[in-house]
Amino acid sequence: MRCTVIGLGEAGRIYAHALQSRGHEVLGYDVAPIPTPGLARAADMAEAVGEAEAVIVMTTARASLPVARDAAPHLSPGTVYADFTSAAPKAKLALNEILPSGVMGADIAILGPVIALGASTPLMAAGPGADRVADLLRPVGAPVEVVHGALGDAMAHKLLRSILMKGLAAVVCEAVEAGRRAGYEDWIRGQIAAELSGDGQATIDRFLTGSAKHAARRADEMAAVTDYCEALGAPSHMSAAARDSLLHLRDGALKSA
């Protein structure tokens, strides 16, 4: 298949070379002069996508719609246009207004670190071209889950996951830093590991019910946490946010009482 990869940063190069390894004809395009040994480069957008059967966009989220607008006049019916950027769901949905009739758009959400996992990084795909993208990338080792929904639905799933993964990472970093400053890093690491290795669904239920039931008391406790972190000289952004969240739950419970 004739494939074009737009955006030749590290992730873009990984997918370009993975597709080449499966015998696909791959053309790269990037306005930046990034060295790409072994990969043919297009001089402009018309050359990049004019004869492509599959276009893979690996740019920044901000470039998602501008790239689609630049590519649209040169795309042929039947081409798969796969947007791998982290643009918001509404931006992915806006591709419907930009891509020409007959071009199959696909919203692709990357669910792991491509730099670490390479082309085997889990993906989620939605939109008219989702199945075609899955057929293209599964042979290179990519686990692709197809969501039979509209453009933007894959990214919506990713953003929900990001609430957990980025929020959890921030909480862990804050707890470990405070533990280090207090001289109890090993102990807090053990506490974190024990929570993460337990019964996941039971932990979720405990968090949901416990936070609502004990919001007022826990908000006071998190206020004490922020004071303690301040005394240690440690950051307390997530602890302060947890306090505010619990206060919101408390106020909601009072209003409904």
Task: Give the count of beta carbons closer than 10 Å to the beta carbon of residue 128.
Answer: 17
Nearest partner of 211 among 165, 250, 238, judged by Cα: 250
Q: In whole angstroms, how far apart are CA 97 and each of 86, 167, 168?
A: 19, 33, 36
pLDDT at 253 over 80: no
Among left, alpha and beta (phi > 0; psi -120 to 50; other), residue 78 is left
The single residue listed with the structure tokens 């590519």 is 71
pLDDT at 4 over 80: yes
Nearest partner of 192 among 212, 169, 160, judged by Cα: 169
pLDDT of residue 42: 96
Which pTM was predicted? 0.83
Q: Which residue has the higher pLDDT, 120 or 199?
A: 120
pLDDT of residue 91: 94
Task: Read off the pLDDT of residues 205-250 as tens digits, 9 standing for 90 and up.
Answer: 998 899 989 999 999 999 999 999 999 999 999 999 999 999 999 8
Q: What is the rounded CA–CA span in Å between residue 239 and residue 226?
A: 6
Of all residues in the chain, what percent are helix, strand and coil, respectively (each to 5)? 60, 15, 25
* Ordered domains of the chain (ranges, CATH): 2-151 (3.40.50.720), 158-256 (1.10.1040)
Q: What is the rounded CA–CA span in Å between residue 158 and residue 112?
A: 10
Q: What percent of the chain has pLDDT over 90?
A: 87
Question: What b/e sequence results for 24-41 when a residue is b if at least 16 CB atoms lie within 10 Å of its CB, and e otherwise?
Answer: bebbbbbeeeeebeebee
pLDDT at 257 over 70: no
pLDDT category, 124, cuts 50, 70, 90?
Answer: very high
CB 34 within 8 A of CB 7: no
- Residue 204 CB-density burial (10 A; 0-12 exposed, 13-18 middle, 19+ buried): exposed
Task: Read off the pLDDT of residues 131-169 as tens digits, 9 standing for 90 and up.
Answer: 999 999 999 999 999 998 899 999 999 999 999 999 999
